[in-house]
Structure 1
Amino acid sequence: MPIVYDELLALDIPVREVNYSDRETMLYALSVGMGQDPMDLAELPFVFEKSLKALPSLSTVICWDDSWTPRTGINYVMVVHGEQRITIHKPLPASGRVKAKVRIKDVFDKGAGKGAIMLVENTITDATSGEKLVTLLSSTFARGDGGFGGPVRKPEDLPPKPHAIPDRKPDAGVTLKTQPNQALFYRLCGDRNPLHAEPAFAEAAGFPRPILHGLCTYGIAVRAVVKAVCDHDPSRIADINARFTAPVFPGETIHTEIWRDGNIVSFRARLMERDVVVLDHGRVELRD
């Protein structure tokens, strides 16, 4: 079924209200590899309920819900995650009750046979006070859905160019090895796509074995930035954005290259084993 632009933008996705506890916060930190060294006192507050801290990227999973996606009409067998941005209005508490309002912000037609780009916005607020906590903006590349038409675009209406990585050696780097069962842990945070667990499904999708969730790779890179730039203080991060460029197989080693320019941090993540960039054009804005 081809995309109908006006209907897609008018799609009503109900508000979702969620309680999350220290259990979900610690599970997420464990699922992106924290706590592997039981003597690492810097990571312990992310995986132990005493003085518990939440990684900023926890916001990508606490209200996870993809039950509305079949209503878009998009061929989700042909869909890949393009970019993910997290704007943090107020640092997430380690537990709480939140509301999530998802809307399709826009869809860009790249042309017949070239696919489409869908922008999805998720606004997370405190369920009691109504205070805005986080805004998530993700781009989805729908490879099988181009050629539907849509409005004529002005240059200012097009998605912005990706953040440019500095043309110099990185100022820091963090190497983190994923575990062979990393995806099996991460899928307990919400995204249970069999692509990340079932070998036969992964093979049908064109992969020799299950791949790691892109947002798990993203969380590992955020973890690296929190370690290298923020001295493990996640409240210093105001905004995170990165583009997904290649899949990771659980068990591979991710090296995150980091550049610091005032309150702007650039980052790029590559695999040590295959020398493949898996996240690019990463940008983090720090609070003063």
Structure 2
Amino acid sequence: MAIDYDKLMNWKFDPVEQEYTSKDSILYALGVGLSADPLDMDQLRFTYEEDQLALPTMAVVLAYPGFFLKDPQFGVDWVKVLHGEQGIEIHKTLPASGHVIGENRFTEIIDKGEGRGALLYSERKVFEKSSGDLLATLTSTTFARGDGGFGGPAREAPKPHDLPDRAPDSIVETATLPQAALIYRLSGDFNPLHADPRVAKSAGFEKPILHGLASLGVAGHAVLKDACGYNPDRFKSFKLRFTSPVYPGETIVTEIWKDGEDVSFRCRVKERDVVVLNNGYARVA
């Protein structure tokens, strides 16, 4: 089995249509840890229906096409794929409820060589159905560990964002709940790796791990709080690299550097002193 480069690059995805409600936005916000202090009025704007706001990072769960790489016709060894990087570009502030359409495509596939895997770059554009306005563009890098040497283009991957060479300007600590993954999966990612201890052990983990996109949501909350004053209108773009898993119940420490509109960040787990999200960059208004 080998990656079918031409098929992937020319694949026409069916549009994904989704109607989401205020309840879905609240559930997403709770899944990434908001309102651990239920008296925090800034966070309550995202977890209570009165004058409700949507978290910008919720764009990652809108019009999600599902785990299409599992389809054998693509030739991807799906058991060995990892989510390497994720980017979010917000074009219009997300409403707390809405009807959206997602359009997906592959933008590039890099062959790193035999035994070194392949990088699959994909893009999702999320449109508001009623107006046709583009709400968000999502970019994702998938590392297919078992698929190098298929004969595709071999070039260097784009370099990640460099963090400033100074102490962070601020630090935000967020304790995750032991049941965080069980809550977050209700936003659409039902991979049993995040729920079933037996599946987690078979994959080499001591217990179920937190979704990478849930960790991303924690980092997004930290940037929204520290650099945007909880104003979603100021949150314009966000990207990062996944470097290590988080276990539900651990504390995520987000280190933030602010240089005008440019915000750099990384996240480490306090209990193990392991960097779990790296090379983070956000642009704020």
For the criterion TM > 0.5, the same-fold answer is yes
Separation in 2 of the partners of 1:152 and 1:241?
24
Q: Structure 1 residue 68: deviation in Å?
A: 2.5
Give the AA of the match of 1:150.
Answer: G
Separation in 1 of the partners of 2:188 and 2:2?
28
CA RMSD across the alignment: 1.0
CA contact (8 A) 2:56 2:235 kept: yes
Separation in 1 of the partners of 2:154 and 2:268?
37
Q: Secondary structure at the match of 1:53?
A: coil
CA contact (8 A) 2:62 2:102 kept: no
Give the AA of the match of 1:15.
Answer: P
CA contact (8 A) 1:13 1:68 kept: no
Q: Secondary structure at the match of 2:84?
A: strand
CA contact (8 A) 2:237 2:282 kept: yes
Q: Deviations over 1:236-264 (max 9, x none)?
A: 01110000000000000000000000100
- Equivalent in the alignment of 2:98: 96
CA contact (8 A) 2:16 2:64 kept: no
Q: Deviations over 1:190-230 (max 9, x none)?
A: 00000000111111111111000000000000001111111
- Equivalent in the alignment of 1:196: 194
Q: Structure 1 residue 152: deviation in Å?
A: 5.5
> Which ranges in structure 1 are unaligned for 5 or more consecutive residues?
none
CA contact (8 A) 1:13 1:102 kept: yes
- Equivalent in the alignment of 2:267: 269
CA contact (8 A) 1:65 1:190 kept: no
TM-score by length of 1: 0.96
Q: Secondary structure at the match of 2:206?
A: coil
Equivalence map 1:200-215=2 (5 Å): 200-215=198-213
CA contact (8 A) 2:113 2:154 kept: no
Give the AA of the match of 1:198.
Answer: D
CA contact (8 A) 1:62 1:189 kept: no
Separation in 2 of the partners of 1:231 and 1:123?
27
CA contact (8 A) 2:109 2:153 kept: no
Q: Deviations over 1:128-154 (max 9, x none)?
A: 22111100000000000110111354x
Q: Structure 1 residue 70: deviation in Å?
A: 2.4
Q: 1:145 aligns with which of 141, 147, 167?
A: 147
Percent identity of the aligned residues?
49
Q: Deviations over 1:19-74 (max 9, x none)?
A: 11101110000000101111111100000011111111101112223152223321
TM-score by length of 2: 0.97
- Equivalent in the alignment of 2:54: 54
